[in-house]
A and B are shown apart, each in its own frame.
Chain A
Amino acid sequence: MTREEIKPTFIDILKKYTPSTIIWDSITENDSIIGKLNVNSARFVDLIIDVEDAFEIDIDDERMNQIITIKNGIDMVESLTANP
Chain B
Amino acid sequence: MKNDNIRVVITGLGVVASNGKNASDYNESLIAGKSGIKSIKELSDLNFGCTIGGIAELNIDKNAFFSNNQLDKANNHIQLACIAGMEAYLDSGLTYNPENEENVDWDTGAIIGTSAGGIDTIGDLVVPFTKAQKPRKIGTSAALNITGSGASLDLANILALGNKVSANSSVCCTGTEAILDGFHHIKSGRALRMLTGSSEGYSPYSWAPMDSLRVLNSRSNNSPETASAPLNKDGFGLVLSSGAGILMLENLDTALKRGAEIYAEILGGSVNCGGRKSGGSMTYPNKEGMKRCISEAVELSGIVPQDIDLINGHLTGTKGDVLEVSVWKELFEHTDYFPYIQSTKSMIGHGLGAAGSLESVASILQLHNGYIHPSINCEPVHPEIEKKINTDRIPKKCIKKEDLTIIAKSSFGFGDVNSCLIFKKWEK
Q: CB within 8 Å of B: which residues of A? A: 40, 42-43, 45-46, 49, 52-53
Q: Point out the residues of chain A lying under 8 angstroms from B2, CB to CB.
A: none
Q: Point out the residues of chain A lying under 8 angstroms from B137, CB to CB.
A: 49, 52-53
The CA of A43 and the CA of B141, in the complex, are separated in Å by 8
The CA of A36 and the CA of B139, in the complex, are separated in Å by 23
Interface string of B134-155 (1 = CB under 8 A from A): 0011011100000000000000
Q: Point out the residues of chain A lying under 8 angstroms from B70, CB to CB.
A: 40, 43
Residue of A nearest to B138 (CB): A49
What's the dominant secondary structure at chain A's contact region? helix
Q: How many residues of B contact A (CB 8 A)?
A: 6
The CA of A43 and the CA of B69, in the complex, are separated in Å by 12
Residue of B nearest to A44 (CB): B140
14 A-B pairs in the complex with CB atoms less than 8 angstroms apart: A40-B70, A42-B140, A43-B70, A43-B140, A45-B139, A45-B140, A46-B139, A46-B140, A46-B141, A49-B136, A49-B137, A49-B139, A52-B137, A53-B137
Q: CB within 8 Å of A: which residues of B? A: 70, 136-137, 139-141
Q: Point out the residues of chain B lying under 8 angstroms from A52, CB to CB.
A: 137
User: How many Å from the CB of B387 to the closest CB on chain A?
Assistant: 60
Q: Point out the residues of chain B lying under 8 angstroms from A49, CB to CB.
A: 136-137, 139
Q: Point out the residues of chain B lying under 8 angstroms from A45, CB to CB.
A: 139-140
User: How many Å from the CB of B139 to the closest CB on chain A?
Assistant: 5
Residue of A nearest to B141 (CB): A46
Q: Point out the residues of chain A lying under 8 angstroms from B136, CB to CB.
A: 49
The CA of A40 and the CA of B70, in the complex, are separated in Å by 10
Q: Point out the residues of chain B lying under 8 angstroms from A43, CB to CB.
A: 70, 140
Given contacts A45-B139, A49-B139, 12 further A-B contacts (CB under 8 A): A40-B70, A42-B140, A43-B70, A43-B140, A45-B140, A46-B139, A46-B140, A46-B141, A49-B136, A49-B137, A52-B137, A53-B137
The 4 closest A-B pairs by CB, nearest first: A45-B140, A46-B140, A46-B139, A49-B137
Residue of A nearest to B137 (CB): A49
User: How many Å from the CB of B214 to the closest CB on chain A?
Assistant: 41
User: How many Å from the CB of A19 to the closest CB on chain B?
Assistant: 10
User: How many Å from the CB of B160 to the closest CB on chain A?
Assistant: 17
The CA of A8 and the CA of B137, in the complex, are separated in Å by 23
Q: Point out the residues of chain B lying under 8 angstroms from A53, CB to CB.
A: 137
The CA of A68 and the CA of B70, in the complex, are separated in Å by 23
The CA of A40 and the CA of B136, in the complex, are separated in Å by 19
The CA of A53 and the CA of B138, in the complex, are separated in Å by 12
User: How many Å from the CB of A59 to the closest CB on chain B?
Assistant: 10
Q: Point out the residues of chain A lying under 8 angstroms from B141, CB to CB.
A: 46
The CA of A49 and the CA of B129, in the complex, are separated in Å by 13
User: How many Å from the CB of B68 to the closest CB on chain A?
Assistant: 10
Residue of B nearest to A47 (CB): B140
Q: Point out the residues of chain B lying under 8 angstroms from A40, CB to CB.
A: 70
The CA of A37 and the CA of B143, in the complex, are separated in Å by 25
User: How many Å from the CB of A79 to the closest CB on chain B?
Assistant: 20
Q: Point out the residues of chain A lying under 8 angstroms from B139, CB to CB.
A: 45-46, 49
Q: Point out the residues of chain A lying under 8 angstroms from B140, CB to CB.
A: 42-43, 45-46
User: How many Å from the CB of A40 to the closest CB on chain B?
Assistant: 7
User: How many Å from the CB of B148 to the closest CB on chain A?
Assistant: 20
User: How many Å from the CB of A48 to the closest CB on chain B?
Assistant: 10
Residue of B nearest to A52 (CB): B137
The CA of A45 and the CA of B141, in the complex, are separated in Å by 10
Could you say which of A40, A49, A52, A53 has the most chain B C-beta atoms within 10 Å of its C-beta? A49
The CA of A53 and the CA of B141, in the complex, are separated in Å by 17
User: How many Å from the CB of B210 to the closest CB on chain A?
Assistant: 34
The CA of A76 and the CA of B118, in the complex, are separated in Å by 35
The CA of A41 and the CA of B206, in the complex, are separated in Å by 33
The CA of A45 and the CA of B73, in the complex, are separated in Å by 14
The CA of A49 and the CA of B142, in the complex, are separated in Å by 14
User: How many Å from the CB of B12 to the closest CB on chain A?
Assistant: 29
